[in-house]
Structure 1
Amino acid sequence: MGSVRPSQLLWTYGPGALVDLPNLSVLTMGLDHWQAGLCTEIAEPRLLAAVRHELGPQVQSLRRPPVGDDNVDPLSPEALRGVPVRPFPRWLRCVKCGLLAEYDSGLFELAPDRYRPERTRFVHPNCEKGKGKKSDAVPARFLLACSNGHLDDFPWHWFVHGGPTACRGTLRFFESGASLQTENLWVRRDGCGQARSMVHAFGGEGKETLPACRGRHPHLDAFEKDCAEQARPVILGATNAWFPVTLSALAIPTGDAPVEQFVQEAWEDIKDAEDLGELRGVLKQLKRQARYPDIDRYAPEDVWEAVRRRVAGESQEARPVTEEEMKRPEWEVLIAPDGGDNDWPHFMAEACDVPSEYAGKLGAVSLVKRLREVNALLGFTRVDSPEEVFDENGKERVARLTKGRTPWVPANEVHGEGVFIRFDEEALRAWLDRAAVRRRDARLFEGHKGWRASRKLNPEARYPGMRYAMLHTLSHLLIREFALECGYNAASIRERIYSNDDESAPMAGVLLYTAAADSDGTLGGLVELGKPENLGRIIRQALRRSHVCSSDPLCSEHDPGKDRSLHSASCHACGFVAETSCERGNRYLDRALLVPTFECRDAGFFE
């Protein structure tokens, strides 16, 4: 029916999400409807172990979404390769006569165009105002959703009659004014002429007049029983209709030998080789394709032995790991004196000097000249964005991708570059002992407890603390500053925070990196800014800008305990970034932890 980028199936148009095509609105179906054989596997054992920790040990693999080929006959079976979708919402509206009915009611027709899929549309063939021509029919713009991930058609007959009704007469949707505000949008039933404005579907009146949530998951063709959440109207195309729940991992050298890393990367190409002779042929073909630049370094005999060891090891199920455990190996590689194994084609780091003016605050800086990130989609939420991936008291709030237990999850891999900054642990602990920092901690903790209590979660669980909040805030300030200097837009720069106050193995660092599916993520501009002569100036500029916000004094005086929010002195004008860049959805931010503000003068980590 159309096309989207593979990465969009993780971040924007995944299972359960609506895709707004030029003439249609369709729903991406669940993984039960996908053809798993068309989805190639991505090898990233650490991420797979973390996914199993969240979804269960039955998850067998991470797979790329199926990609179609534009150079095929659109009438051939090969043209159907892709992700299955279904028209949603089911209700359509004629653009001329206003007829409102289901697309399968017999009143509308589908007009497909296989050679120009973007022209496929529904039409109203018997429109009384069409003057003998077929009028276009567009999706109705209102839906129902709830915070448990359910999505349903708007109950038009119920709404017009103010409650349950057996009436199934013809409905019309029309506008009574020049503006498109809800009070000017009306639904009328032909015959009796009963009409109602859409303004009555929202607010307190909407809660009283709309039916209870039916627990519908249209992407799974399923209904869940006993949903206690209040269904609320959402606009077609609204950003709160689908929020992805994802996990990501950096591909780092973890094997005992370089050949094991090569086998891990090329596993999908070499795993079917039955003997050494067949493997030699596969390696020659890969060399001609130039897919692995270091393939000449590995003797076929060594590769065959590594393959046999991996096959034997895969018979033992990998132990599931938490997100925290997944970050620990990355931290160890990033803080290594030599910057890790630079012989690996997907990771290369180089240690450099710390800017002299911040030598007492920063412990080390590394230029990550090459990295690979793998992202996996675990589920999604609606109405409310997910603050946690999964919670011990709220797992049911994350909608599933399949009816049963998920056997595999969609994933994608991107390549990029970055700058890693490690903080001095002694300076950080001395800062955490300040009375002013403890007061800011108590203030943010009150907001944390209120936020979680309002969502029926354990109020005191999952609080990251001041160490994380300070690192997170500086990360956002640097993202905004990097975007002005290096040429990347701010939404293409991401963060990865390493924070742990364990006495024996603490972590305190920030990795800022670009990650794109093409060469845009590896142009070198970000690495150049990590050099001491540039990084010192950028940190100084970022801190200077954060002293005063254009929303001050309201921004600096914001108390998260009063409105149950998860940020203190931070807002869109000073500290928020694109949610694709932030790993916490712009939460746990407070610029008073970095520099003096109007409201707090003595809690800043930097002088």
Structure 2
Amino acid sequence: MVGQVRPSQLLWTYGPGALIDLPNLSVITMGLDRWDVNHCQPVEEARLLAAVRRVLGPQVERLRVPPFLRDENASPFSAEGKIGVPVRPFPRWLRCVKCGLLGEYDSGLFDIKPDPYRPDRTHFVHTNCEKGSNTDAVPARFLLACRNGHLDDFPWHWYVHSGPSECTGTLRFFESNASLQTEDLKVKCDECGVTRPMVFAFGEDAKDNLPACRGRHPHLDTFETSCDEAPRTVLLGATNSWFPITLSVLAIPLEKNQVNQLVLDGWEYFADAESQDEVKVIVKTLTKSAVLPGIDQHDPKEIWKAIQDKREGNTQEAIVSEADIKVPEWGILTSPNPRTDWPQFLARRTEIPQAFSAQIDDVLLVERLREVNALIGYTRVEAPEETDDPDERPPMASICRGNPDWIPVSEVHGEGIFVKFSESAIRKWEERSSVKRRDESLQAGHRGWRNARKLNPDVAYPGIRYAMLHTFAHLLIRELALECGYNAASIRERIYANADEEKPMAGVLLYTAAPDSDGTLGGLVELGKAESLGRLIRQALLRAGVCSSDPLCSEHAPSNDRSLHAACCHACGFVAETSCERGNRYLDRALLVRTLECEDAAFFDMGSGVDG
């Protein structure tokens, strides 16, 4: 063991192919084929599994939680203490902090000093350093990465000799000035004496000073035969070295009958059952492993009947496609009779804030919910775009050799507030000429942004309705975080926006998404009641009227700088990227309130509390 991270970080920050920059060394998380699946508990979520299969193929059989150490005090030499995710030192090149010697960790120049009782103290040392014995050796901070998801060691010998060379002299890395700018960081060959600054490894100069990409996937121990992308120098710990590609769903009941719902969720376990007695055994196993919460509350006879109904097609499953993610959620959240008997989803309707009754149709207090997130791949250098079309995003790199038969997931339990907007009020607002002008401005920014990235400019624009709802969600998140007891990064959004006349959607779900007790404090639901929610919405809108960065913020035009937001910035409307489903894009507070630059596109009239 060399360190610890939280299980949820293995999806969002340190998944397969990602670098973990520990205090004294750097390691890379190995592919799923190296993980011990026996320590990865399965998670049942039929809709998410269907969505994953749609992307990765039908061979995916299970969703599993990454392995984690259940007892932090377990002996590091026990079987329990060895549970974890396999990693390997990367980059391979180390640098002595005193003499600057550069070398690979297995070259014989360095020794590892493990500390099983204090994993954070595990480190490499340069045993025979000329400036002192057993001096620390740290990872070299430079790597090569490309847009196709490849990652490689920096080619130190190739770089210092300006290409292939027969010289095999030892290399040293040093700083010639205290500024630490790239022109002052230099690498030198002891044998031939040549010295080269690192400045030529970046920017336009890198094209002529770096070799072609070798197509390396160090977490899979593979090299692809060819790669036509130019490699780029990246720094160890840089954000652009690994971007996760995830899918997420809310665990919602698709069936009116709770037994049928549980059988649907755990169908993999019940599919081969041949008798009621066999069902009893399966239920005992599921209860003991806590895989399917609530199944032990039902009679085996009922469960056996539900299994037979499922086989005969007498359930509601065919009505809703499991592969669809948001439409079934919208149907449950807007149902006239919210579910109150499901162990993973509990909601109740509450009164609408009177001051905003013209804009809001319904408010739902979700007292219990579960979100499940799945990691399906990653990108490097460029973040994945918000689209389902693989051609519209950077190439997705694999987290496993071959086709994976399981995918790592994380599940979080929490609470939330769902606000449904008036469809008639939104359609009336969308018809305003001022709103159409704001729409055209955002579309111009969208087209420019995608053109700059060589993407199709005429697709993936979410619409002005989405921008308004999205901005409302951000403003309310910031306001809720001041009063509900959660930090702002613990509150996430889910936007339901569709202008289709047959299946219109206009709503916002704000919910806690913290993987620990921070997600179940109860404060969010309490603030969803009419008297509190009305006050918070009013406060959020009043704050949004004037930004501390005005007039620059309110006058920002997306078409001028090819950006994806209008009147919005860090001072008024941006939230943590873990909270936002669009990376702080498609935001404009002028769509909600009057600003210094635009007074006639606001959905809310803060003079009277209703839209004029």
- Give, in angstroms, the shift of residue 318 of structure 1: 9.9
- Give, in angstroms, the shift of residue 476 of structure 1: 0.7
Amino acid at match of 2:475: L
Distance 1:566 1:310 in 2: 46
Distance 1:455 1:528 in 2: 44
Greater mean alpha carbon deviation, residues 183-192 or residues 260-269: 260-269
Q: Which residue of 1 aligns with 2:593?
A: 595
Q: Which residue of 2 aligns with 1:182?
A: 182
Amino acid at match of 2:254: T
Q: Which residue of 2 aligns with 1:380?
A: 378
What runs of 5+ residues in structure 1 fail to find an aligned partner?
none
Amino acid at match of 1:98: G
Distance 1:22 1:603 in 2: 51
- Give, in angstroms, the shift of residue 521 of structure 1: 0.8
Q: Which residue of 1 aligns with 2:325?
A: 326
Distance 1:527 1:253 in 2: 20
Q: Deviations over 1:506-558 (max 9, x none)?
A: 00000000022233211110111111111111111111111122222222222
SS at 1:486's partner residue? Answer: coil
Q: Which residue of 2 aligns with 1:369?
A: 367
Q: Deviations over 1:14-57 (max 9, x none)?
A: 01111112221000111122233332221111111111222222
TM-score computed with the length of structure 1 as normaliser: 0.92
Instruction: Indicate conservation of the 8 Å contact 1:145/1:231, yes or no.
Output: yes
Distance 1:392 1:17 in 2: 21
How do 1:551-562 and structure 2 match up within 5 A? 551-562=549-560
Instruction: Indicate conservation of the 8 Å contact 1:49/1:320, yes or no.
Output: no
Greater mean alpha carbon deviation, residues 175-184 or residues 480-489: 175-184
Q: Deviations over 1:303-348 (max 9, x none)?
A: 23435666888xxx9999697x31111101111122x211001111
Distance 2:271 2:3 in 1: 34
Shift of the 20–269 alpha-carbon distance from structure 1 to 2, 3 Å rule, reads farther
SS at 1:346's partner residue? Answer: coil
Distance 1:279 1:412 in 2: 28
Query: 1:86 aligned to 2:88?
Result: yes
Distance 1:123 1:48 in 2: 46
SS at 2:482's partner residue? Answer: helix
Distance 1:14 1:309 in 2: 40
How do 1:140-539 and structure 2 match up within 5 A? 140-264=140-264, 276-277=276-277, 279-280=279-280, 283=283, 294=294, 297-307=297-307, 325-338=324-337, 340-394=338-392, 397-539=395-537
Amino acid at match of 2:45: E
SS at 2:584's partner residue? Answer: coil
SS at 1:62's partner residue? Answer: strand
Amino acid at match of 2:6: R
Shift of the 522–77 alpha-carbon distance from structure 1 to 2, 3 Å rule, reads closer
Instruction: Indicate conservation of the 8 Å contact 1:57/1:320, yes or no.
Output: no
Shift of the 549–212 alpha-carbon distance from structure 1 to 2, 3 Å rule, reads farther
Q: Which residue of 1 aligns with 2:61?
A: 60
Distance 1:303 1:249 in 2: 25
Q: Which residue of 2 aligns with 1:43?
A: 44
Shift of the 243–319 alpha-carbon distance from structure 1 to 2, 3 Å rule, reads farther
Instruction: Indicate conservation of the 8 Å contact 2:46/2:265, yes or no.
Output: no
Instruction: Indicate conservation of the 8 Å contact 1:54/1:390, yes or no.
Output: no
Give the RMSD, CA atoms, in angstroms.
2.7
Shift of the 296–104 alpha-carbon distance from structure 1 to 2, 3 Å rule, reads closer
Q: Which residue of 2 aligns with 1:580?
A: 578
Distance 1:22 1:395 in 2: 33
Q: Deviations over 1:478-501 (max 9, x none)?
A: 111111111111100000001111
Instruction: Indicate conservation of the 8 Å contact 2:558/2:565, yes or no.
Output: yes
Q: Deviations over 1:557-588 (max 9, x none)?
A: 22222322211111111111111101111111
Instruction: Indicate conservation of the 8 Å contact 2:187/2:195, yes or no.
Output: yes
- Give, in angstroms, the shift of residue 595 of structure 1: 1.3
Instruction: Indicate conservation of the 8 Å contact 1:17/1:242, yes or no.
Output: yes
SS at 1:485's partner residue? Answer: coil
Shift of the 219–284 alpha-carbon distance from structure 1 to 2, 3 Å rule, reads closer
Instruction: Indicate conservation of the 8 Å contact 1:160/1:188, yes or no.
Output: yes
Amino acid at match of 1:67: F
Greater mean alpha carbon deviation, residues 303-312 or residues 226-235: 303-312
Count residues in correspondence. Answer: 600
Shift of the 572–593 alpha-carbon distance from structure 1 to 2, 3 Å rule, reads same
Greater mean alpha carbon deviation, residues 589-598 or residues 412-421: 589-598
TM-score computed with the length of structure 2 as normaliser: 0.92
What runs of 5+ residues in structure 2 fail to find an aligned partner?
606-612
Distance 1:449 1:320 in 2: 34
- Give, in angstroms, the shift of residue 589 of structure 1: 0.9
Distance 2:160 2:312 in 1: 65
Q: Deviations over 1:455-506 (max 9, x none)?
A: 2222111111101111111111111111111111110000000111111110
Instruction: Indicate conservation of the 8 Å contact 1:478/1:539, yes or no.
Output: yes
Which of 551, 555, 564 matches 2:562? 564
Distance 2:47 2:169 in 1: 57
Shift of the 148–558 alpha-carbon distance from structure 1 to 2, 3 Å rule, reads farther
Distance 2:39 2:318 in 1: 25
Greater mean alpha carbon deviation, residues 154-163 or residues 506-515: 154-163
Greater mean alpha carbon deviation, residues 171-180 or residues 98-107: 171-180
Shift of the 442–147 alpha-carbon distance from structure 1 to 2, 3 Å rule, reads same
- Give, in angstroms, the shift of residue 76 of structure 1: 4.7
Amino acid at match of 2:327: R
Distance 1:286 1:212 in 2: 52
Distance 1:293 1:55 in 2: 28
Question: Could you tell me the percent identity over the aligned residues?
Answer: 64
Amino acid at match of 2:55: E
SS at 1:576's partner residue? Answer: coil
Amino acid at match of 2:7: P
Amino acid at match of 2:9: Q
Shift of the 534–140 alpha-carbon distance from structure 1 to 2, 3 Å rule, reads same
Shift of the 233–319 alpha-carbon distance from structure 1 to 2, 3 Å rule, reads farther
SS at 1:349's partner residue? Answer: strand
Distance 2:184 2:264 in 1: 60
SS at 2:420's partner residue? Answer: strand
Shift of the 183–486 alpha-carbon distance from structure 1 to 2, 3 Å rule, reads same
SS at 2:483's partner residue? Answer: helix
Distance 2:100 2:65 in 1: 42
Distance 1:525 1:350 in 2: 16
Instruction: Indicate conservation of the 8 Å contact 1:52/1:320, yes or no.
Output: no
Q: Which residue of 2 aligns with 1:111?
A: 113
Amino acid at match of 2:114: P
Distance 2:256 2:593 in 1: 44
Q: Deviations over 1:380-401 (max 9, x none)?
A: 1222222225424245522221
SS at 2:52's partner residue? Answer: helix
Instruction: Indicate conservation of the 8 Å contact 1:43/1:267, yes or no.
Output: no
Shift of the 292–171 alpha-carbon distance from structure 1 to 2, 3 Å rule, reads closer
Q: Which residue of 1 aligns with 2:29?
A: 28
Instruction: Indicate conservation of the 8 Å contact 1:393/1:458, yes or no.
Output: no
Q: Which residue of 1 aligns with 2:99?
A: 97
Amino acid at match of 1:598: L
SS at 2:38's partner residue? Answer: helix
Distance 2:33 2:281 in 1: 36
Instruction: Indicate conservation of the 8 Å contact 1:175/1:185, yes or no.
Output: yes
SS at 2:325's partner residue? Answer: helix
Instruction: Indicate conservation of the 8 Å contact 2:254/2:320, yes or no.
Output: no
Q: Deviations over 1:355-401 (max 9, x none)?
A: 11111111111111110111111111222222225424245522221
Amino acid at match of 1:56: G
Amino acid at match of 2:44: A
